[in-house]
């Protein structure tokens, strides 16, 4: 079965800490045990009724509101297989109340069993792993998470067992579920006995088995333990939109092209850094400054500020966007032999260090829902700046649309470029901390109303200077 909450549905994948999650939800929401279960007809992937896939829930309960967010947890394949092995071949080591986890008090008993040679009826861990179909865990996750048509993943939020407590709290806040945070924080951590030293003696985990699991479960590691799939989603999304853009139809990629260029808010990017209104005093940026626009898209801001600086170069994750930007600047008469850089979304490897007087970015960073990627980019912005150069940007401030992502979250499984996966700044202190750690100083910010059509309560414009 799956578990239904006010705004969400929990999909319980076996061996991923789901029993602990259910207990945590019941304790923090004052729910009666099993009262919120969604019944499913037929047997599940494991041949029993205890677990329901996302597809089963959607198919058999079509009356459930589609806006309910689905969430689940995955676990490192090696750890999942270890836990499954212990439960299958050493059930005498597992107390009834703690299934499927090994009670920590059983360590002496575990060591006793470990000293014996494995009975012939029991497989070694190596034998167990190699007896399974290749990619066993990958198939398991796909069965539980993907849509019937093969879209993967199908759920809105996928946490990791390795960060169980923090990810659960994170999701409940995203979904705006009513819960007591302290009830989860004060719960004893899930006991994963297969990871104990004593259990390792039984398992006999070695390098050959480790490499086999990594290779056979490569898809899981790349999808849930790497940022590459997320960056691929970003690139694909913007390539698709950029391919629709033209001189006559400029609203793709960035929304209302000309209307956005009329927003005066954008002058906050260069507030007290450049003179837009005839004031020639206290200007950190001169008219001969070189500026880099991160996430330049089809060149809207490259054109808008072209006359204010010596040159504004562009960087984007989509080659198509970069080509469109060049076409637009030539059409608008503002092309200055601008340089266009392709980024993998993670760094600015094509840009030389210490080249620019300023780096700017608008309506880009708020679409990057992975904190560690943004933090890495902050360091890259510092690298390409001259000494004393400025970084200035805009992001969403305050939670808007249901499912929006808090600033410090790593949503590597975001299936869309914006909307429910937009990131929002909760406090200016979050930006201050990251920029300080990245080597910036003189942090300042301004909070304004958002541009038309943006669903954040506010925008935050901010700047900082390279030390």
Instruction: Please state the pTM of the whole predicted model.
Output: 0.61
Is cis: bond before 100, omega within 30 of 0? yes
DSSP letters of 395-461?
A: EEES--STTPEETT-B-TT--SSSGGG-EEBS-HHHHHHHHHHTTEEEEEEEEEPPPTT--SSEEEE
Q: Which residues contact 255 (CB under 8 A, 6 or more apart)?
A: 453
Cα separation, 267 vs 274, whole angstroms: 9
User: Where along the chain do its domains lie?
Assistant: 2-225, 234-466
What letter does residue 61 receive in the DSSP assignment? Answer: -
CA distances from 212 to 78, 142, 161 (A): 10, 20, 22
Question: Hey, what CATH topology would domain 2-225 get?
Answer: Rossmann fold (3.40.50)
Cα separation, 284 vs 307, whole angstroms: 17
Angle formed by the axes of helices 136-145 and 77-89, to 10°?
100
Q: Kindly state the helix (H) or strand (E) to which residue 312 belongs, with its residue range.
A: strand 311-316
* Residue-level pLDDT at 118: 47
| Mean predicted confidence (pLDDT) in 267-277 | 72
Same fold, 2-225 and 234-466: yes
pLDDT digits (tens, 9 = 90+) for 48-66: 446 888 888 887 887 787 7
Evaluated on CA atoms 429, 435, 440, 445, the torsion sign reads negative
pLDDT digits (tens, 9 = 90+) for 177-197: 999 999 999 998 765 555 555
Question: Hey, what CATH topology would domain 234-466 get?
Answer: Rossmann fold (3.40.50)
Q: How confident is the model at residue 140 (pLDDT cuts 50, 70, 90)?
A: very high
Residues 345-382 as b/e (b if ≥16 CB within 10 A, e otherwise) read bbebeebeeebbbbbbbbbbbbbbbbbebbbbbbbbbb
* Residue-level pLDDT at 198: 55
Cα separation, 22 vs 31, whole angstroms: 10
């Amino acid at each position: 079965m799956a578990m239904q909450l006010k705004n969400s549905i929990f999909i319980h994948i076996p061996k991923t800490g789901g029993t602990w999650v259910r207990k945590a939800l019941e304790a923090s929401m004052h729910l009666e045990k099993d009262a919120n279960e969604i019944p499913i007809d037929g047997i599940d992937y494991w041949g029993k009724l205890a677990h329901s896939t996302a597809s089963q829930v959607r198919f058999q309960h079509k009356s459930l509101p589609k806006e309910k967010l689905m969430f689940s947890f995955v676990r490192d394949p090696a750890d999942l297989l270890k836990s499954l092995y212990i439960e299958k071949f050493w059930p005498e080591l597992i107390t009834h109340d703690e299934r499927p986890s090994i009670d920590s008090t059983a360590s002496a008993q575990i060591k006793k069993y470990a000293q014996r040679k494995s009975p012939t009826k029991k497989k070694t861990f190596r034998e167990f792993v190699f007896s399974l179909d290749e990619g066993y865990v990958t198939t398991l996750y796909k069965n539980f998470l993907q849509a019937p048509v093969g879209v993967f993943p199908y759920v809105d939020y996928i946490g990791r067992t390795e960060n169980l407590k923090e990810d659960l709290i994170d999701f409940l806040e995203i979904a705006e579920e009513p819960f007591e945070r302290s009830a989860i924080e004060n719960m004893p951590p899930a006991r994963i006995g297969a990871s104990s030293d004593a259990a390792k003696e039984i398992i006999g985990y070695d390098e050959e088995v480790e490499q086999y699991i990594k290779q056979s479960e490569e898809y899981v590691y790349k999808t849930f333990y790497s940022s590459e799939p997320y960056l691929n989603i970003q690139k694909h999304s913007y390539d698709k939109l950029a391919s629709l853009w033209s001189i006559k139809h400029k609203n793709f990629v960035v929304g209302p092209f000309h209307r956005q260029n009329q927003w005066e808010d954008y002058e906050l990017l260069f507030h007290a850094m450049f003179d837009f209104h005839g004031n020639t005093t206290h200007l950190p940026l001169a008219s001969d400054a070189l500026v880099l626009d991160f996430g330049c898209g089809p060149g809207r801001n490259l054109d808008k500020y072209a006359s204010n600086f010596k040159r504004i170069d562009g960087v984007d994750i989509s080659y198509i966007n970069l080509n469109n930007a060049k076409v637009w600047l030539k059409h608008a008469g503002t092309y200055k032999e601008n340089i266009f850089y392709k980024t993998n979304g993670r760094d600015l490897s094509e840009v030389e260090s210490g080249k620019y007087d300023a780096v700017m970015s608008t309506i880009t960073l708020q679409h990057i829902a992975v904190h560690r990627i943004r933090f890495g980019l902050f360091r890259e912005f510092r690298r390409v700046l001259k000494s004393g150069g400025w970084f200035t940007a805009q992001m969403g401030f305050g939670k808007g649309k249901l499912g929006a992502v808090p600033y410090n979250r790593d949503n590597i499984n975001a299936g869309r470029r914006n909307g429910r996966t937009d990131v929002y700044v909760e406090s200016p202190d979050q930006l201050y901390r990251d920029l300080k750690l990245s080597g910036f100083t003189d942090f300042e910010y301004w909070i304004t109303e958002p541009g038309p059509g943006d669903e954040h309560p506010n925008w935050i414009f901010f700047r900082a200077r390279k030390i």
